[in-house]
Amino acid sequence: MSIAADISVYPALRVAVVGAGYWGPNLARNFAMSTEWELVAICDLDLERAQNLARKTGNPAVVGSLDELLADYDIDAVAIATPAHTHHKIAMQAITAGKHVVVEKPLADNSAHGTQMVQSAANAGTILMADHTYCYTPAVLKIRELLAAGELGELLYIDSTRINLGLVQPDVDVFWDLAPHDLSILDFVIPGGLNTRTVTALGSDPLHAGKSCVGYLSMELESGILAHINVNWLSPTKIRQMVIGGSKKTLVWDDLNPQQRLTVFDRGVDLDRQKMIRSDAEDRKGATISYRLGDTWSPALSEFEPLGLMISEFAASIRGSHRPPTDGLSALRVLKVLEAANDSLAQRSHGEQTNNSQTLVMENQR
């Protein structure tokens, strides 16, 4: 991924950030620092919070409503950093006004809303992009490059862990809070994207918060890859790790190890040798495992602000350079997996309730 266009020949695009809470300040800071963008306004219902952010980002205008922003300010794009359940309404209003839109993850609160957003942007000729920031990190860009080059061989499995002692979110469970990061990464790095055959979720609520605080998400992809994601708000240790196993090599990404974020292991089961052993051992109960022990190496990574690259890609896509790497369709695939996880949790809950009812009936009959 590269920005091919010479940005010096273009005037700065004008943008407003909607939402001055948790993620809005990060967006505002990067837009304010970019030569490709002019930060025109901060929009938030909490004017004091918006004013505090404006003072830190070059004193753009402070606006209290989306209606006022779209009616009174000349902007090209809107960056949405508000709760997920508000994304659809804000994005639709901005798209209807002819504005390009980038949305904080997840794209929307359900796939019906997400689909409408994607279709409306396409019909309006505007860009709809998801702020899946991890996809713009040096490590994930390198992973995508290695997988596209076939460095690992045929992909066999992916195991991701994203756990820490975190805040229980008021409006979403741990799947919707943390798993979008990993799902968007998988959609970004796997050739062909995140196309699933099956999705199974198992969640636990030991805090009695009314939502899953610990979760395990398992997927079988159309390509045959098995992917597993562990998300957890209750872990006393913080882990951000992904293992991608291939027929040739295995890659380990440890996002919390700045000295060696990526490691490629040329070691594992020798699949070709294993076939030979198995064919020679058909009359035996088991075959000896043949291992491959090769080199281990760490790719060199560039250093840059991922969010800065994301907004540069947003600008490039608006100017027609190329399609956004994390466009609305990509975000919609992520959203559909999250919904499938919800369905899996609901089915499991219904099954447990049925089993509990059956157990109670049997005990009453004794």
Give the pLDDT confidence score for residue 276 in this predicted structure: 57
More confident of the two residues 294 and 159: 159
Q: What is the residue-wise DSSP string for 18-48? A: E--SSSHHHHHHHHHH-SSEEEEEEE-S-HH
Using 50, 70 and 90 to split pLDDT, how confident is the model at 6?
A: low
* Domain co-membership, 38 together with 118: yes
Q: What is the residue-wise DSSP string for 266-298? A: EEEE-HHHHHHHHHHTTTSS-----EEEEEEE-
Whether residue 342 is contained in a domain is answered as no
Contacts for 349 with CB less than 8 Å, ≥ 6 apart: none
Pairing of strands 100-104, 128-131: parallel
Give the pLDDT confidence score for residue 329 in this predicted structure: 96
Range(s) of the domain holding residue 297: 135-304
* Domain co-membership, 109 together with 210: no
Whether residue 201 is contained in a domain is answered as yes
* Domain co-membership, 75 together with 192: no
Name the DSSP letter for residue 9.
Answer: G
**Mean pLDDT across the chain:** 89
* Domain co-membership, 198 together with 145: yes
More confident of the two residues 4 and 251: 251
Residue 182: CB atoms within 10 A of its CB come to 23
The CA distance from 139 to 188, in Å, is: 12
Q: How many domains does the structure of the chain reveal?
A: 2
Cis link prior to 325 (omega < 30° from 0)? Answer: no
CATH code assigned at 231: 3.30.360.10
Q: Where are the beta strands (DSSP E) in 70-195?
A: 77-80, 100-104, 128-131, 155-165
CATH code assigned at 122: 3.40.50.720
* Domain co-membership, 182 together with 94: no
Measured distance between the N- and C-terminal CA atoms of the chain, rounded to whole angstroms: 68
The CA distance from 217 to 202, in Å, is: 7
Whether residue 104 is contained in a domain is answered as yes
pLDDT at 325 over 80: yes
Give the pLDDT confidence score for residue 364 in this predicted structure: 39
* Domain co-membership, 15 together with 61: yes
pLDDT at 366 over 50: no
The region of weakest confidence among 15-19, 118-122, 281-285 is 281-285
* Domain co-membership, 320 together with 294: no
Tell me the two tokens of residue 274. 């294993």
* Domain co-membership, 159 together with 91: no
